[in-house]
Amino acid sequence: MNVTKSVAKLLVGAAITLSANVMAVVPFQFDPDGSGGGNAITVTSFDWVQGNSLSIAGNPVGGLAVNSTMSILTQSKLNSFVNGGTSIPVPAGTEFTFVMGVPVTVVGLIPPNTNSAVYQFNGGGGDTNFVEMWVSAPDSNMLNGTGFNNTRRILYGVVTDGTGSLVIQACPGGAASVQFDQFPSVANNDYPGVTTVCATGSNQISVNVLWVDPNYFPGFGPDKINTLKSFFNTSNITPFNQQDPSRQFVTNGSGFAGADPEDTTNPVLGPVNGGLQNVEPRDFQNQADANQSFEVGQVVAGTCRVTYGGNDKNNNTDPTSFGAACSSDKGKAQNCYTFGGQVGAPTADPAQGGPFGEHTHHNVSGPAGEFVFRAGTHSAPKSTRITATHARILMLANRQQPMPSSSRSTLKAPVRSGRLMRQLSTTSSR
């Protein structure tokens, strides 16, 4: 009998010894028609067309200050695949797009304009931290801000680090502001009455890739996903000279399973995009030109043991809370349970047949009654053994630097303040 157990929320209770990863940018195989490698090409990077970025709360009342927080939303479509110095066009009839959300904090201001800021990723999690790549028929509309997250998702990840800046300077001729939308010419203005400050900047974003569609990324198998990272290098500028400013942005990801509904927002710019003001909280929108590469870590063999445990109610999908309904469910209408175990117990040593794991699920009360499920423990039948564990460890602490992951341990979720927040899968066989 094969049993797959999905544990949604975990508490780390033991020290972890993990292997180290040595990262290196590598060419990879990408199949533009999604045939699983039958028509794969070698790619070193993705070159995205000039797209859009929106700094939510990037123009607050009175201007930015150190410790101000923003959420930077970015969207674009693929211009071409790049292999070294060779550009490979996207096949006709197909469009690849990406959407991204990065929570950041202002760490410095650049005088004299307080909306000129240096910022860095602040470790924020949840659905505002997301990177997704999609494939569809050519249907994106940059002006409307639609068609960037539809049909089929082929990559999902979360941001683990990033820095950037956006500096306001005098416009040509010394003007304080110019026409916001100048694409394809000043005569084609889709934002009448809206001007913008002139600004230039860039950011560098590091992404922990948690899932890819193997039909499009045949070179990134499970062994590669364990250590796979992606990097975005983006140039930002206003006014818009090479692209239309988008009227809509995606505000959240669809989650690891791809089932969460994604919402949108419309930019709040006021009469001067990015201009200092004392009226209302506003956003700051700019043209964004990104390229993207990938790195795969070289795993140095080691061992891993993670202890976890908690209590919860049936069907609780909130990754940030435990069992609130259990303590208040006096009528026992919910199935309330405790759980716990160890990844890498009794041993993670391959020489002894490992890595193994053990897990106990105790349904304490509720309509299902009281029962206990055990696998891999001394109380479980000897024929029951957890033989495969997958856990990616991503430590969000201090400067939110990523924690090295083990080749035998891949947890697809962030850890914050010692909590593994989402989806550890263990497979047991009997």
**pLDDT tens digit sequence for 268-284:** 999 999 999 999 999 99
What pLDDT is recorded for position 357?
74
Query: 3-state DSSP call for residue 351?
Result: helix
The 3 state secondary structure assigned to 255-274 is CCCCCCCCCEECCCCCCEEC
What pLDDT is recorded for position 397?
37
Cis peptide before 355, with omega less than 30 degrees from 0? yes
Do residues 220 and 43 lie in contact, with contact meaning Cβ atoms separated by under 8 Å? no
DSSP state of 301: P
What pLDDT is recorded for position 314?
63
To the nearest whole percent, how much of the chain has pLDDT over 70? 71
The answer, as to whether pTM is greater than 0.85, is no
What pLDDT is recorded for position 185?
97
What pLDDT is recorded for position 411?
32
Q: Measured over all CA atoms, what is the biggest interatomic distance in the chain, rounded to whole angstroms?
A: 81
* Ordered alpha helix ranges (H), 51-168: none
Using the predicted structure, report yes or no on whether residue 18 has a pLDDT greater than 70.
no
Using the predicted structure, report yes or no on whether residue 5 has a pLDDT greater than 90.
no
What pLDDT is recorded for position 304?
61
In terms of Cα–Cα distance, which of 105, 119, 127, 136 is closest to 32? 136
To the nearest whole percent, how much of the chain has pLDDT over 90? 58
Q: Confidence class of residue 201 from pLDDT cuts 50, 70 and 90?
A: very high
Mean pLDDT of 315-330: 54
What pLDDT is recorded for position 382?
61
Q: Confidence class of residue 24 from pLDDT cuts 50, 70 and 90?
A: low
Using the predicted structure, report yes or no on whether residue 219 has a pLDDT greater than 70.
yes
Quote the tokens at residue 194: 């809206």
What is the identity of the amino acid at 167? Answer: V
| CA-angle at 134, arms to 96 and 27, nearest 5° | 65
Mean pLDDT of 129-136: 98
Query: 3-state DSSP call for residue 241?
Result: coil
* Ordered alpha helix ranges (H), 200-242: 222-225
Using the predicted structure, report yes or no on whether residue 215 has a pLDDT greater than 90.
yes
> Comparing 69 with 296, which gets the higher pLDDT?
69
Domain segments of the chain as ranges: 21-298, 306-429
In terms of Cα–Cα distance, which of 105, 160, 230, 138 is closest to 394? 160
What pLDDT is recorded for position 430?
35
Q: Confidence class of residue 402 from pLDDT cuts 50, 70 and 90?
A: very low
Looking at every residue in the chain, the average pLDDT score rounds to 80
Mean pLDDT of 186-204: 97
Q: Confidence class of residue 371 from pLDDT cuts 50, 70 and 90?
A: confident
